[in-house]
Structure 1
Protein backbone atom coordinates (compact mmCIF):
# COMPACT_ATOMS: atom_id res chain seq x y z
CA UNK A 1 0.00 0.00 0.00
CA UNK A 2 1.37 3.41 -0.93
CA UNK A 3 1.94 6.26 1.52
CA UNK A 4 -0.77 8.27 -0.30
CA UNK A 5 -3.27 5.43 0.06
CA UNK A 6 -2.59 5.25 3.80
CA UNK A 7 -3.40 8.95 4.13
CA UNK A 8 -6.53 9.01 1.98
CA UNK A 9 -9.32 10.54 4.02
CA UNK A 10 -6.90 11.82 6.66
CA UNK A 11 -6.99 15.60 7.12
CA UNK A 12 -5.10 18.00 9.28
CA UNK A 13 -5.57 21.54 10.49
CA UNK A 14 -2.86 23.96 11.55
CA UNK A 15 -2.88 24.87 15.25
CA UNK A 16 -5.00 21.86 16.13
CA UNK A 17 -3.78 19.47 18.82
CA UNK A 18 -3.19 15.87 17.76
CA UNK A 19 -2.28 12.69 19.59
CA UNK A 20 -0.48 10.14 17.48
CA UNK A 21 0.76 6.63 18.09
CA UNK A 22 3.18 4.94 15.75
CA UNK A 23 4.57 1.44 16.14
CA UNK A 24 7.82 -0.13 15.03
CA UNK A 25 7.88 -2.72 12.25
CA UNK A 26 6.76 -6.09 13.67
CA UNK A 27 6.71 -4.43 17.11
CA UNK A 28 10.51 -4.62 17.29
CA UNK A 29 11.52 -3.28 20.74
CA UNK A 30 14.35 -1.17 19.32
CA UNK A 31 13.78 1.64 21.84
CA UNK A 32 14.49 -0.69 24.75
CA UNK A 33 18.13 0.36 24.38
CA UNK A 34 19.30 3.87 25.12
CA UNK A 35 20.90 5.06 21.87
CA UNK A 36 17.97 4.34 19.49
CA UNK A 37 15.55 5.94 21.97
CA UNK A 38 17.74 9.05 22.21
CA UNK A 39 18.05 9.22 18.41
CA UNK A 40 14.24 9.23 18.17
CA UNK A 41 14.03 11.92 20.84
CA UNK A 42 16.57 13.99 18.92
CA UNK A 43 14.37 13.84 15.85
CA UNK A 44 11.30 14.79 17.90
CA UNK A 45 13.33 17.81 18.98
CA UNK A 46 14.26 18.65 15.38
CA UNK A 47 10.63 18.54 14.22
CA UNK A 48 9.65 20.70 17.20
CA UNK A 49 12.45 23.22 16.65
CA UNK A 50 11.64 23.49 12.94
CA UNK A 51 8.22 24.90 13.89
CA UNK A 52 6.34 22.02 12.28
CA UNK A 53 4.82 21.21 15.69
CA UNK A 54 4.76 22.44 19.27
CA UNK A 55 5.32 19.30 21.34
CA UNK A 56 3.20 19.04 24.46
CA UNK A 57 3.94 15.52 25.69
CA UNK A 58 5.53 12.32 24.44
CA UNK A 59 6.71 8.95 25.64
CA UNK A 60 8.98 6.54 23.80
CA UNK A 61 7.99 2.98 24.64
CA UNK A 62 10.15 -0.03 23.69
CA UNK A 63 8.25 -0.58 20.41
CA UNK A 64 6.16 2.54 19.85
CA UNK A 65 5.81 6.28 20.31
CA UNK A 66 2.95 8.33 21.77
CA UNK A 67 3.17 12.03 20.90
CA UNK A 68 0.85 14.92 21.72
CA UNK A 69 1.48 18.15 19.81
CA UNK A 70 -0.04 21.24 18.30
CA UNK A 71 0.40 21.21 14.54
CA UNK A 72 2.16 24.24 13.10
CA UNK A 73 1.86 25.83 9.66
CA UNK A 74 4.85 24.19 7.98
CA UNK A 75 3.68 20.59 7.40
CA UNK A 76 0.46 18.60 7.32
CA UNK A 77 -0.09 15.89 9.92
CA UNK A 78 0.93 13.15 7.43
CA UNK A 79 3.96 15.28 6.50
CA UNK A 80 5.06 15.51 10.14
CA UNK A 81 4.77 11.76 10.66
CA UNK A 82 6.46 10.97 7.34
CA UNK A 83 9.34 13.33 8.18
CA UNK A 84 9.81 11.87 11.65
CA UNK A 85 9.71 8.28 10.42
CA UNK A 86 12.11 8.92 7.53
CA UNK A 87 14.65 10.75 9.69
CA UNK A 88 14.54 8.25 12.54
CA UNK A 89 14.79 5.31 10.15
CA UNK A 90 17.88 6.79 8.53
CA UNK A 91 19.61 7.64 11.83
CA UNK A 92 18.70 4.50 13.77
CA UNK A 93 19.38 2.11 10.90
CA UNK A 94 22.72 3.86 10.37
CA UNK A 95 23.57 3.51 14.06
CA UNK A 96 22.63 -0.18 14.05
CA UNK A 97 24.28 -0.90 10.69
CA UNK A 98 21.09 -2.26 9.20
CA UNK A 99 18.61 -1.53 6.43
CA UNK A 100 14.91 -2.11 6.15
CA UNK A 101 11.77 -0.86 7.79
CA UNK A 102 11.95 0.64 11.24
CA UNK A 103 8.29 1.66 11.48
CA UNK A 104 4.97 0.18 10.49
CA UNK A 105 3.63 2.19 7.59
CA UNK A 106 0.37 3.13 9.26
CA UNK A 107 -0.12 5.21 12.39
CA UNK A 108 -3.02 6.15 14.62
CA UNK A 109 -3.97 9.80 15.00
CA UNK A 110 -6.67 11.62 16.87
CA UNK A 111 -7.56 15.28 16.73
CA UNK A 112 -8.15 16.54 20.25
CA UNK A 113 -11.51 18.22 20.68
CA UNK A 114 -11.52 21.74 22.06
CA UNK A 115 -13.49 20.74 25.16
CA UNK A 116 -11.09 17.94 26.11
CA UNK A 117 -8.66 18.29 28.99
CA UNK A 118 -5.31 18.35 27.17
CA UNK A 119 -3.36 18.10 30.43
CA UNK A 120 -5.25 14.94 31.39
CA UNK A 121 -4.48 13.48 27.98
CA UNK A 122 -0.79 14.40 28.44
CA UNK A 123 -0.77 12.69 31.85
CA UNK A 124 -2.33 9.60 30.29
CA UNK A 125 0.34 9.54 27.57
CA UNK A 126 3.33 9.90 29.88
CA UNK A 127 1.90 7.28 32.29
CA UNK A 128 2.19 4.54 29.65
CA UNK A 129 5.36 3.08 31.22
CA UNK A 130 3.48 2.72 34.53
CA UNK A 131 0.57 0.90 32.90
CA UNK A 132 3.01 -1.34 31.02
CA UNK A 133 4.73 -2.08 34.36
CA UNK A 134 8.12 -0.95 33.04
CA UNK A 135 8.65 1.21 36.15
CA UNK A 136 6.96 1.87 39.49
CA UNK A 137 7.30 5.65 39.22
CA UNK A 138 7.18 7.73 36.03
CA UNK A 139 10.27 9.62 37.17
CA UNK A 140 12.23 6.37 36.85
CA UNK A 141 11.47 6.10 33.12
CA UNK A 142 13.97 8.08 31.03
CA UNK A 143 12.14 8.58 27.72
CA UNK A 144 9.25 10.99 28.23
CA UNK A 145 8.53 14.66 28.65
CA UNK A 146 5.58 16.99 29.13
CA UNK A 147 5.34 20.79 29.07
CA UNK A 148 3.34 20.84 32.30
CA UNK A 149 5.68 18.72 34.39
CA UNK A 150 8.84 20.79 34.45
CA UNK A 151 11.43 18.26 33.25
CA UNK A 152 12.39 20.78 30.60
CA UNK A 153 13.89 24.18 31.14
CA UNK A 154 11.73 26.72 29.32
CA UNK A 155 8.27 25.36 28.75
CA UNK A 156 8.75 22.94 25.86
CA UNK A 157 8.44 19.19 26.05
CA UNK A 158 11.81 18.80 24.39
CA UNK A 159 14.23 20.87 26.46
Structure 2
Protein backbone atom coordinates (compact mmCIF):
# COMPACT_ATOMS: atom_id res chain seq x y z
CA UNK A 1 0.00 0.00 0.00
CA UNK A 2 1.37 3.43 -0.87
CA UNK A 3 2.29 5.96 1.78
CA UNK A 4 0.63 8.88 0.00
CA UNK A 5 0.59 12.01 2.17
CA UNK A 6 -2.07 14.59 1.53
CA UNK A 7 -1.21 18.28 1.72
CA UNK A 8 -3.67 19.94 4.11
CA UNK A 9 -3.71 23.73 3.95
CA UNK A 10 -6.30 25.68 5.96
CA UNK A 11 -8.31 28.02 3.77
CA UNK A 12 -6.53 26.71 0.69
CA UNK A 13 -7.49 26.19 -2.92
CA UNK A 14 -7.42 22.58 -4.16
CA UNK A 15 -7.76 20.80 -7.48
CA UNK A 16 -9.34 17.33 -7.26
CA UNK A 17 -9.83 14.35 -9.55
CA UNK A 18 -12.24 11.55 -8.67
CA UNK A 19 -12.71 8.45 -10.80
CA UNK A 20 -15.53 5.92 -10.89
CA UNK A 21 -14.95 2.28 -10.00
CA UNK A 22 -13.33 0.50 -12.96
CA UNK A 23 -13.98 3.66 -14.98
CA UNK A 24 -17.66 2.83 -15.25
CA UNK A 25 -19.38 5.60 -17.29
CA UNK A 26 -21.92 6.34 -14.55
CA UNK A 27 -22.13 10.04 -15.42
CA UNK A 28 -23.22 9.41 -19.00
CA UNK A 29 -26.69 9.15 -17.38
CA UNK A 30 -28.01 12.69 -16.72
CA UNK A 31 -29.91 11.54 -13.60
CA UNK A 32 -26.60 10.41 -12.05
CA UNK A 33 -25.00 13.79 -12.77
CA UNK A 34 -27.90 15.46 -10.94
CA UNK A 35 -27.53 13.04 -8.02
CA UNK A 36 -23.84 13.92 -7.78
CA UNK A 37 -24.63 17.65 -7.80
CA UNK A 38 -27.22 17.08 -5.05
CA UNK A 39 -24.65 15.20 -2.94
CA UNK A 40 -22.13 18.02 -3.40
CA UNK A 41 -24.71 20.66 -2.47
CA UNK A 42 -25.81 18.67 0.59
CA UNK A 43 -22.24 18.58 1.90
CA UNK A 44 -21.65 22.22 0.90
CA UNK A 45 -24.61 23.34 3.03
CA UNK A 46 -23.32 21.52 6.10
CA UNK A 47 -19.56 22.04 5.60
CA UNK A 48 -19.09 25.20 3.58
CA UNK A 49 -16.62 25.48 0.69
CA UNK A 50 -16.49 27.42 -2.57
CA UNK A 51 -16.75 25.40 -5.75
CA UNK A 52 -14.68 27.48 -8.19
CA UNK A 53 -14.90 25.10 -11.14
CA UNK A 54 -16.09 21.62 -12.04
CA UNK A 55 -16.40 19.32 -15.01
CA UNK A 56 -18.18 15.98 -14.90
CA UNK A 57 -17.18 13.46 -17.57
CA UNK A 58 -18.70 9.97 -18.01
CA UNK A 59 -16.17 8.21 -15.74
CA UNK A 60 -14.47 10.94 -13.72
CA UNK A 61 -14.68 14.51 -12.54
CA UNK A 62 -12.35 17.41 -11.83
CA UNK A 63 -13.03 20.37 -9.62
CA UNK A 64 -11.38 23.27 -7.88
CA UNK A 65 -12.40 24.22 -4.33
CA UNK A 66 -11.60 26.98 -1.87
CA UNK A 67 -11.90 25.91 1.75
CA UNK A 68 -12.89 28.31 4.53
CA UNK A 69 -10.15 29.87 6.65
CA UNK A 70 -8.98 27.60 9.50
CA UNK A 71 -10.47 24.57 7.71
CA UNK A 72 -8.55 21.91 5.82
CA UNK A 73 -11.03 19.02 5.93
CA UNK A 74 -11.44 18.27 2.23
CA UNK A 75 -11.08 14.50 2.78
CA UNK A 76 -14.07 14.45 5.11
CA UNK A 77 -16.13 16.40 2.56
CA UNK A 78 -15.24 14.00 -0.25
CA UNK A 79 -15.98 11.00 1.96
CA UNK A 80 -19.47 12.41 2.61
CA UNK A 81 -20.09 13.36 -1.03
CA UNK A 82 -19.10 9.87 -2.15
CA UNK A 83 -21.26 8.30 0.57
CA UNK A 84 -24.36 10.38 -0.25
CA UNK A 85 -24.00 9.72 -3.97
CA UNK A 86 -23.39 6.01 -3.38
CA UNK A 87 -26.50 5.78 -1.22
CA UNK A 88 -28.52 7.15 -4.16
CA UNK A 89 -26.85 4.63 -6.47
CA UNK A 90 -27.70 1.83 -4.05
CA UNK A 91 -31.35 2.81 -4.18
CA UNK A 92 -31.48 2.93 -7.97
CA UNK A 93 -28.89 0.40 -9.19
CA UNK A 94 -29.34 -3.04 -7.67
CA UNK A 95 -27.98 -2.32 -4.18
CA UNK A 96 -24.34 -1.74 -5.15
CA UNK A 97 -21.80 -1.13 -2.42
CA UNK A 98 -19.83 2.14 -2.31
CA UNK A 99 -16.64 0.40 -3.42
CA UNK A 100 -18.41 -0.43 -6.68
CA UNK A 101 -19.23 3.21 -7.38
CA UNK A 102 -15.93 5.07 -6.80
CA UNK A 103 -12.25 4.29 -6.94
CA UNK A 104 -11.10 4.10 -3.36
CA UNK A 105 -9.03 7.29 -3.32
CA UNK A 106 -8.97 10.64 -5.06
CA UNK A 107 -6.19 12.86 -6.35
CA UNK A 108 -5.65 16.33 -4.92
CA UNK A 109 -3.28 19.17 -5.65
CA UNK A 110 -2.86 22.24 -3.44
CA UNK A 111 -2.98 25.34 -5.62
CA UNK A 112 0.19 27.40 -5.15
CA UNK A 113 -0.62 30.77 -6.71
CA UNK A 114 -2.85 32.61 -9.18
CA UNK A 115 -0.98 31.16 -12.18
CA UNK A 116 -1.45 27.61 -10.83
CA UNK A 117 -5.16 28.37 -10.21
CA UNK A 118 -5.62 29.55 -13.82
CA UNK A 119 -3.79 26.52 -15.26
CA UNK A 120 -6.08 24.19 -13.32
CA UNK A 121 -9.18 26.17 -14.31
CA UNK A 122 -8.10 25.78 -17.94
CA UNK A 123 -7.36 22.08 -17.47
CA UNK A 124 -10.80 21.48 -15.96
CA UNK A 125 -12.63 23.34 -18.71
CA UNK A 126 -10.62 21.88 -21.60
CA UNK A 127 -10.95 18.29 -20.35
CA UNK A 128 -14.10 17.37 -22.38
CA UNK A 129 -12.28 18.47 -25.55
CA UNK A 130 -9.14 16.56 -24.53
CA UNK A 131 -11.25 13.39 -24.14
CA UNK A 132 -13.01 13.88 -27.49
CA UNK A 133 -16.40 14.52 -25.86
CA UNK A 134 -16.88 18.06 -27.19
CA UNK A 135 -15.49 20.26 -29.98
CA UNK A 136 -14.94 23.11 -27.53
CA UNK A 137 -15.52 23.65 -23.79
CA UNK A 138 -18.69 25.71 -24.31
CA UNK A 139 -20.35 22.63 -25.85
CA UNK A 140 -20.01 20.46 -22.72
CA UNK A 141 -23.12 20.66 -20.53
CA UNK A 142 -21.62 19.37 -17.27
CA UNK A 143 -19.01 22.07 -16.81
CA UNK A 144 -18.67 25.42 -15.09
CA UNK A 145 -17.11 26.87 -18.26
CA UNK A 146 -20.18 28.83 -19.42
CA UNK A 147 -20.58 30.25 -15.91
CA UNK A 148 -17.08 31.72 -16.21
CA UNK A 149 -17.74 32.96 -19.76
CA UNK A 150 -20.63 34.95 -18.29
CA UNK A 151 -18.26 36.49 -15.75
CA UNK A 152 -15.63 37.44 -18.33
CA UNK A 153 -12.90 34.95 -17.39
CA UNK A 154 -13.12 33.19 -20.77
CA UNK A 155 -14.24 34.06 -24.28
CA UNK A 156 -17.02 31.78 -25.58
CA UNK A 157 -14.70 30.32 -28.27
CA UNK A 158 -11.79 29.66 -25.84
CA UNK A 159 -10.51 26.11 -26.15
CA UNK A 160 -11.14 25.64 -29.84
CA UNK A 161 -7.37 24.95 -29.83
CA UNK A 162 -5.39 23.39 -26.97
CA UNK A 163 -4.28 26.10 -24.52
CA UNK A 164 -0.54 26.73 -24.38
CA UNK A 165 -0.70 27.05 -20.58
CA UNK A 166 -0.75 23.24 -20.20
CA UNK A 167 3.04 23.14 -20.53
CA UNK A 168 4.42 21.84 -17.24
CA UNK A 169 1.02 20.91 -15.81
CA UNK A 170 0.72 17.37 -14.45
CA UNK A 171 -2.08 15.45 -16.13
CA UNK A 172 -4.51 14.06 -13.56
CA UNK A 173 -6.73 12.10 -15.98
TM-score range (shorter-chain normalised) is 0.7 to 0.9
> Normalising by structure 2, what TM-score?
0.74
Matching of residue 76 in structure 1 with residue 73 in structure 2: yes
Matching of residue 55 in structure 1 with residue 51 in structure 2: yes
Relative to structure 1, the CA distance from residue 7 to residue 44 in structure 2 (aligned partners, 3 Å threshold; closer, same or farther) is farther
Aligned to 2:9: 13
Paired residue for 1:32, among 28, 31, 35?
28
CA–CA distance in structure 2, aligned partners of residues 24 and 83 of structure 1: 15
* Residues 17, 106 of structure 2: 8 Å contact kept: yes
Relative to structure 1, the CA distance from residue 149 to residue 119 in structure 2 (aligned partners, 3 Å threshold; closer, same or farther) is farther
Give the stretch that moved more between structures: 112-121 or 51-60: 112-121
* Residues 53, 64 of structure 2: 8 Å contact kept: yes
Aligned to 1:129: 128
> Normalising by structure 1, what TM-score?
0.80
CA–CA distance in structure 2, aligned partners of residues 97 and 140 of structure 1: 33
Give the stretch that moved more between structures: 81-90 or 113-122: 113-122
Q: Deviations over 1:106-156 (max 9, x none)?
A: 1111000025342332122021111111111322221111563338xxxxx
Aligned residues: 147
Cα displacement (A) at 1:36: 0.6
CA–CA distance in structure 2, aligned partners of residues 96 and 121 of structure 1: 33
* Residues 89, 96 of structure 2: 8 Å contact kept: no
CA–CA distance in structure 1, aligned partners of residues 104 and 149 of structure 2: 32
User: How large is the Cα RMSD of the aligned pairs?
Assistant: 2.3
Cα displacement (A) at 1:71: 1.6
Aligned to 1:144: 143
Aligned to 1:67: 63
* Residues 44, 84 of structure 1: 8 Å contact kept: yes
Cα displacement (A) at 1:46: 2.5
> Structure 2, unaligned stretches of length 5 or more?
152-173
* Residues 24, 102 of structure 1: 8 Å contact kept: yes
